[in-house]
Amino acid sequence: MALEVLYFGSLVDITGLSKQEFTSIADTDSLVQQLQTDYPALRTTKFFIAVNQQMIQSNKALNHGDIVALMPPFSGG
């Protein structure tokens, strides 16, 4: 099972990537846990998660081919 994670804004500075592929991740909670282990700075950074362009407010199962987006807030004007 492969899925793609897209990083936006300041999250790219933390991960050093704009996108990344993952395999065998059951749901968004496990994904976040994995990401926070790989990139500890994500623990103290705000972002919301969208799966296939739909924002989620609670844990969601992930399927092969899903695209997960991590979006931080922007404040500039």
Partner 1 sequence: MADKERYLRQMILPGFGQEAQEKLLAAKVLIVGVGGLGCPVLQYLVGAGVGKIGIMDGDKISLSNLHRQLLFSEIEIGLLKVEQAFIKMKQLNSGITIEQYPFYIDQKNALEIISKFDIVIDATDNFAAKYLINDACVVLKKPLVYGAVSRFEGQVAVFNFATNKERAINYRDLFPEAPKLGEIPSCEEAGVLGVLPGIIGAMQAAEAVKFITGLGRVLNGKLYHYNLLQAQGYEIEITPIDKVEEINEHQFLKTNYEWDCEIEDVPEINVAEFNKLRQQPEFFVLDVREKHEYPKIDFSDAQIPMSELQNRMAEIPDKEICIICHQGIRSLYAAQQISKKRNLKVSSLKGGLTAYFK
**Site residues (vs partner 1, CB under 8 A):** 6, 8-10, 18, 44-46, 48, 50, 53-57, 69, 71-77
Give the residue with the Cβ less far from partner 1, 23 or 44: 44
* CA gap 75, 65 in Å, rounded: 32
Beta carbon nearer to partner 1, 48 or 61:
48
> In this structure, how many other beta carbons lie within 10 angstroms of the beta carbon of residue 31?
22
Taking the C-alpha atoms of residue 31 and residue 35, their distance in angstroms, rounded to an integer, is 6
Looking at the Cβ atoms of 2 and 41, the one nearer to partner 1 is 41
